[in-house]
Structure 1
Amino acid sequence: MSAPDTPPTNDQSATTKTSPSDGVGQTQVNADQEAKFGPLDKPPNPEEQRQLRERFYNSTIIERIDVTDDLAKFRIRPDSPIPPFEPGQYVALGLGNWEPRLVGTQPEDVPINKARKIVRRAYSISCPMLDEKGCLATQDSVDYLEFYITLVRKGATVVSKPPALTPRLFGKIAGDRIVMERKITGKYKLGEYDPDDTMLFLGTGTGEAPHNAMAAKLLATGHRGRIVIATSVRYRHDCAYINEHKVLMRQYANYLYLPMTTREPENIQPDHPQFVGKQYLQTMFTSGRLAELAEDPLAPSNTHVFLCGNPDMIGYIPPGADAPENPGMLPLLRAAGFSDDVHEHRAGTIRFEKYW
């Protein structure tokens, strides 16, 4: 549910106080706040920040696993029990606009009327995949939720708004508090399938997160068909779960993880002894190389396809829009006989995370 290095997005903000509906009541609320914390035409002072966190934050970061300077796994435990949900779904995380931004990220000028608000962003829920003993761990076997998140340091263009959440989130450590919305939702789920069907998960960057959760469920429930996760990233070090995938491949003969890169020397230097070119999923699929590596025909007759990540990779074209010069996976899969009809639940079906 993301651009190549960007988590799924569903930005929204909400006020951090409940106000009476009549103007007189609101005036009294403001007066009480000013008497306690100081003028509301200034950012909240440290004591007010503490009380805002105490009042609105409902979850704790219990572990942060840094993969690179810009990529991390966050394990977050909510104060309340986690409600049942399906692998592939997402939930919103949030922090107050008063929280400091990480040094080196794009500055943000927060209007005073938003200084006491929460900024939220939705993230697909990942999965630890392995427990402390090196055995399969599904998302419902732990009392926390795991998120696979990229730090967005600046807006995509010079006129883009500064990223609001991750510059604040990446300043947090284990033990810090955060907002986690209570509702876990999303239509990107496994759906119906036969136990011998091939399940093919194609993702870019942190778009792998929901695929980890889906694959873990399939393994835990004894799926017999091939389970293939192919992830395209810029560099090998961007594959944050590669060690977990290697262990699971040794434990489950039908499980395969295919990490693919686009900016390593073997991707961009034709004279490199292991030159393979840029391993974009579209090229790997149309060339037949993906099926070769998967040791499976990846045909509509036996395969379900799941897409999550960069919209350019997914290739959804809104009605009336022009087709891009370089097609994404959706038109390529349709041309190969697959269908993205949301009402179908059979081999040959495409499911993709649509968040734009």
Structure 2
Amino acid sequence: MSVPNRAADPSSDMPGPAEMVDAGASVESYELPDAEECQQLRDQFYNATIIDRIDATEDLAKFRIRPDAPIPAFEPGQYVAIGLGYWEPRLLGTQPEDVPAKKIRKIVRRAYSISCPVLDEHGELAPVDEIDYLEFYITLVRKGATAVSKPPALTPRLFGKQVGDRIVLERKITGKYVLGQYAPDETMLFMGTGTGEAPHNAMVTRLLRQGHRGRIIVATSIRYHHDAAYHREHEILMRRFPNYLYLPLTTREPENIQCDHPNFIGKQYLQTMFTSGKLAELAEDSLSPQNTHVYLCGNPDMIGYIPPGSDPPENPGMLPLLRQAGFRDDVTDHQAGTIRFEKYW
């Protein structure tokens, strides 16, 4: 699957949100088309408009994109590619990129899980099939993961865009990470890291709209409190729906890392929260495979998928831990006890 990769830290989320680059420094190395040709290229390729941008931090934002054509039917949890031309300028402070002349007039694309606003402007539920735009929850990737990694191509350009700017939105929405089958009284447990929460927002809103009676629990591991960009919406949902619970679990706040902090709780990684029983305690639910469906999205280290023939890591992810607890990911009937996870490899 061509979807965003996640960072090595289970509490962070990299692709997979300004200032523009200094034009004098970039035009010569990029061999950029002139302004008139850039506009011609946008007119030729771009088919959607950014209608809103909501910044949580300087490196984290929600982008709402409305395509020119009607949005095809899709399921919460699926993903689609967005794109921009290589001719678009990059943000100041991101890794430099040398684009060859043969590539400068082409489009860079990257697939992202589709989120949703959760609530509309009137405070009512806003499922993905009741709005005329797509929402994406995206982290700005400023540089490659290692010294030899290629510079990130899309987000340094995307984070220079504002409301009214045009963009590429692919028509094909796809993906197998969807709600599947479930009973109305069963517990739905969504575990994510960072912007891996995006598809869970869409899934949860669908469940609440359908009147799901069982517990709905969203546990998201983030570095800092300000990384929970949908916290206000989740707070409203918890007040309105007694069966709904949102747990933003931090790893870098003072109470996570300073042992002498009066409210010291340690780093709240999903794996340790689950195996220690703390997650079940906070959820006020047994999280038993007899009545619980589990959904995993985000950092591959948190998910813990081990390719055939590979050695297991020193610190296991959620998949082996859930299997030890009696959950299964090798079933097709999707009864309680099923694990579903998004693949980023």
Query: Quick check: TM above 0.5?
Result: yes
Q: Which of 226, 237, 242 does residue 248 from structure 1 map onto? A: 237
Match of 1:35 in 2: none
Match of 2:135 in 1: 146
Match of 2:57 in 1: 68
The Cα of 1:139 is off from its aligned counterpart by: 1.1
The Cα of 1:7 is off from its aligned counterpart by: 3.1
What secondary structure, in the 3-state scheme, does the structure 2 residue paired with 1:66 have? strand
The Cα of 1:308 is off from its aligned counterpart by: 0.2
Q: How does 1:204-243 map to 2 (within 5 A)?
A: 204-243=193-232
The Cα of 1:254 is off from its aligned counterpart by: 0.5
Match of 1:123 in 2: 112
Q: Tell me, yes or no, if structure 1 residue 55 matches structure 2 residue 44.
A: yes
The Cα of 1:137 is off from its aligned counterpart by: 1.2
Contact 2:117-2:135 within 8 A present in 1 as well:
yes
Residue deviations 1:53-104, cap 9 Å, x none?
0011000000000000000000000000000000000000000000000011
Q: Which ranges in structure 1 are unaligned for 5 or more consecutive residues?
A: 9-40
Q: Which of 338, 345, 351 does residue 327 from structure 2 map onto? A: 338
Corresponding letter in the other structure for 1:127:
C
Contact 1:2-1:206 within 8 A present in 2 as well:
no
CA distance in 1, matches of 2:263, 2:32: 56
Q: Tell me, yes or no, if structure 1 residue 94 matches structure 2 residue 83.
A: yes
Q: Tell me, yes or no, if structure 1 residue 275 matches structure 2 residue 264.
A: yes
Q: Which ranges in structure 2 are unaligned for 5 or more consecutive residues?
A: 7-11, 17-29
Corresponding letter in the other structure for 1:87:
P
Using the aligned pairs only, state the percent identity: 77
CA distance in 2, matches of 1:307, 1:2: 14
CA distance in 2, matches of 1:156, 1:229: 28
What secondary structure, in the 3-state scheme, does the structure 1 residue paired with 2:66 have? strand
Match of 1:111 in 2: 100
Q: Tell me, yes or no, if structure 1 residue 309 matches structure 2 residue 298.
A: yes
TM-score (ref. length: structure 1): 0.90
Q: Tell me, yes or no, if structure 1 residue 287 matches structure 2 residue 276.
A: yes
The Cα of 1:135 is off from its aligned counterpart by: 1.6
Contact 1:2-1:308 within 8 A present in 2 as well:
no
> Post-superposition, which runs of at least 4 consecutive aligned residues in structure 1 deviate over 3 A?
none
What secondary structure, in the 3-state scheme, does the structure 2 residue paired with 1:143 have? coil
CA distance in 2, matches of 1:42, 1:7: 27
Contact 2:76-2:203 within 8 A present in 1 as well:
yes
Match of 2:288 in 1: 299
Corresponding letter in the other structure for 2:326:
G
Q: Which of 5, 23, 38 does residue 13 from structure 2 map onto? A: 5
The Cα of 1:42 is off from its aligned counterpart by: 4.7
CA distance in 2, matches of 1:141, 1:253: 24
Matched pairs, number: 324
TM-score (ref. length: structure 2): 0.93
What secondary structure, in the 3-state scheme, does the structure 2 residue paired with 1:55 have? helix
Match of 2:146 in 1: 157
Q: Output the aligned Cα RMSD.
A: 1.0
Contact 1:148-1:206 within 8 A present in 2 as well:
yes
What secondary structure, in the 3-state scheme, does the structure 1 residue paired with 2:208 have? helix
CA distance in 2, matches of 1:42, 1:265: 46
The Cα of 1:6 is off from its aligned counterpart by: 1.6
Contact 1:305-1:349 within 8 A present in 2 as well:
yes
Match of 1:84 in 2: 73
The Cα of 1:2 is off from its aligned counterpart by: 4.4
Contact 1:233-1:261 within 8 A present in 2 as well:
yes
